[in-house]
Amino acid sequence: MHVIQIPLRFSNAYLVIDQQAILVDTGSPNESDTIMRAITNAGITPNDISLLVHTHGHIDHAGSTAELRRRIGIPTAIHHADAPNLLSGTNGIVKPRNLEARLVAAMLVKPFEAVKADIVFTEELSLHAYGINGQIIFTPGHTKGSISLLLGNGEAIVGDVMMGGWLGGTIRPHQPNYHYFVDDWADVHHSINRLLTHAPTRWYVGHGGPLAYAQVARHFVDIIDK
Ligand SMILES: [Zn+2]
Ligand SMILES: [Zn+2]
C-alpha cells in the first residue's frame, strides 16, 4: 500500500493505492486535469479507482468533484453532516480563528459546482470493500462532517483536522498547526486525541505536510487527554 500526495493550488488531494485505489478529495474548481495527470503518473487508470471520498465539504477539497465525476464516473462519498455542502455547492458556516484566517476566508470561501454524493455515510466505514486496507473514522471539529482515513500501513490522511505550516503550507509545511477554520474547538481537540491514540507514523493533511507523529504529539501536548 502507498499514498501519493497530489499537490494542488491551495490544497492536497491523495491517491491511496492497495489492491485497488481510492481518491481522497478533489481540490478547488478546475483541478481535474492535474488530478487526471496524477492518476496516469501513478501507473493506474480511472477504472482502478473504486471510490472518491471527501475528508470534508469545503471548496478546496470538493471543488473539482462535479467535473471529475463527469470525466470518470467514480462513486463519490461524504459524511452525512457535510453532504449538504456538496449538494448545494457551499461551504457551510466557516469560522476563522484569527486575522490571517479571515483573509484566507475572504479569498477562498466561494460557491462551487454542486454534486449529489452516491454514498452518504453516518457510521465509520471500512475500506476493505473498496480494495483498501484501511478505515474511515469520524474526526469532526474543522467541520461537522470531517473524517480521517487510518491506513493499514500505519499512516493517516486527516484532511483539515490540522494543517502543515503557515500560508496554506507554503511556510514550514512539516510543522503541525491548527487549521485556519475551526467549527468547534472541543471537537477538534477530541479528534486530535483520538488520532494520537492510533499513533499514525505519517499524517497527510489538506494543506502542507506530511507531518511526523512525534512532531504532532509534541505540538499538541497541552491538549492531550491525561
Ligand atoms: Zn476545510
Ligand atoms: Zn482545506
Which pLDDT value is given to residue 167?
Answer: 79
Q: What gap in Å lies between CA 213 and CA 226, rounded to an integer?
A: 18
Tens digit of pLDDT for each residue in 129-144?
999 999 999 999 999 9
How far, in Å, is the centroid of ligand 1 from the Cα of 49? 23
- Ion ligand 1 neighbours (CB, 5 A) are 58, 160
Buried b (16+ CB within 10 A) or exposed e, 83-122: bebbeebbbbebebeeeebeebeeebbeebbebebeebbe
How many Å apart are CA 100 and CA 104, to the nearest integer? 6
Continuous H helices in the chain: 32-41, 59-62, 65-71, 83-88, 99-108, 185-198, 213-219
* Residues by chain with Cβ below 5 Å of ion ligand 2: 11, 60, 160, 206
Is residue 159 a contact partner of residue 205, using CB atoms and an 8 Å limit? yes
What local confidence, expressed as pLDDT, does residue 45 receive? Answer: 97
CA-CA-CA-CA dihedral for 61, 137, 82, 55, to nearest 10: 0
The CA 6 to ligand 2 mean position distance, Å, reads 14
Residue whose C-alpha is closest to residue 32's, from 57, 68, 77, 4: 68
User: What's the 62 CA to ligand 1 centre distance in angstroms?
Assistant: 10
* 86 CA distance to ligand 2 middle (Å): 14
Residue 196 neighbours by CB distance under 10 Å: 18
CA 40 to ligand 1 centroid distance, Å: 27
Distance in Å, CA 58 to ligand 2 centroid: 7
* CATH number of 170's domain: 3.60.15.10
What pLDDT shows up at residue 226? 66
* Among the bound ligands, the one closest to the CA of 206: 2
Nearest bound ligand to CA 146? 1
Q: By C-alpha distance, which of 34, 4, 17, 5 is closest to 152?
A: 17
CA of 146 to the centre of ligand 1 (A): 9
The alpha-carbon radius of gyration of the chain (Å, integer) is: 16
**Total structural domains within the chain:** 1
The answer to whether 213 and 199 are in contact (CB under 8 A) is: yes
Nearest-angstrom CA–CA distance, 61 and 35? 12
Domain that holds residue 74: 2-223
| Grid cell digits, residue 128 | 476493505
Distance CA 189, CA 212 (A): 18
User: For residue 107, what pLDDT is reported?
Assistant: 84
Tell me the residue ranges of DSSP E strands in 60-183. Answer: 76-79, 119-121, 125-126, 134-138, 147-151, 156-159, 163-166, 171-177
Q: Which residues of the chain have pLDDT under 50?
A: none
What confidence tens digit (pLDDT) does each residue in 92-124 have? 989 999 998 999 888 888 999 999 999 999 989
